[in-house]
Amino acid sequence: MKVILVDDEELSRQVLREFLGGHEEIEVAAECSNGFEAVKAVAEHKPDLLLLDIQMPKLDGFEVLELIEEPLAVIFVTAYDTYALRAFEVHAVDYLLKPFSKERFDAALERARRRLGEKLPPAAELAAAARPPSQHLERIVVKDGARVQVIPCDKLDYAEAQDDYVSLHTGGKTHLKQQTISSLESYLDPARFIRIHRSYLVNLERVARIEPYTKDSRMAVLSDGTRLPVSRTGYARLQALLEGRG
């Protein structure tokens, strides 16, 4: 079994190494101290199992999983228990709450061995389901070849649906992310981002004005001059939100 360890604390990685020391059948393919290293290491080594911390600087554990396209077994290793129930609901192999004993660690590894013969969900799917539903995104991560782009949500002007992808527009640049617009909408703060059309999600702060377009449709004009279609339902949402703010 090929394993990658991901934790920003050296002491935590040392404990994992020691606990793995008695398992000759396991190869530690890489150790990573942050999320960027983890995404690169997974692409390079194609591990069977990821031992993954959740709370990390730069990229957290959920963001790491979002950027991994391959299915793989994941054991969350963290000091925070608020994620535990969600992790099990979406079939993470196991969830180790620091500090944990070697017996508890060995039990998690045994669960991983049993799961490796099963069909595992893509890592990005696990990330989407494990993230707490009340937790609005503060930033969006996008894999661009070997690079990872981090877009703060307050810098996002609008998003456009393109089949199973979204085109993210920010400061005159465009980034393509494999995600549906409905999925993205569910993670953004509904007080800041609004679905004005089935294909468009806009940052309310960027809307300069709404203009009539045809008898039954309108256009949203953004502060940079971009014009986006507004459906009848989208206009009703806009009105309700603006009235609520007033």
Cβ–Cβ < 8 Å for 68, 41: no
Query: Cα(73)–Cα(161) distance, rounded to whole angstroms?
Result: 30
Of the residues 130, 158, 176, the one at which a domain ends: 130
Q: Is the pTM of this model over 0.85?
A: no
Using the predicted structure, report yes or no on whether residue 172 has a pLDDT greater than 70: yes
Question: What is the span of the domain harbouring residue 186?
Answer: 139-245
Of the residues 106, 130, 154, the one at which a domain ends: 130
Which CATH number do you get for residue 145? 2.40.50.1020
Position 34 scores a pLDDT of: 94
Are residues 88 and 199 part of one domain? no
Q: Which residues pair with 24 in a beta bridge?
A: none
- Tokens describing residue 229: 């279609």
DSSP character string of 36-86: HHHHHHHHHH--SEEEE-SS-SSS-HHHHHHT--SB-EEEEEES--TTHHH
Q: What is the mean pLDDT of residues 166-195?
A: 93
Report which of residues 160 and 217 the model is more confident about. 160
Mean pLDDT for all residues in the chain: 88
For residue 117, what is the DSSP state? T
Using the predicted structure, report yes or no on whether residue 20 has a pLDDT greater than 70: yes
Using the predicted structure, report yes or no on whether residue 244 has a pLDDT greater than 80: no
Least Cα distance to 180 among 123, 125, 119 occurs for 125
What Rg, from alpha-carbon coordinates, does the chain have?
21
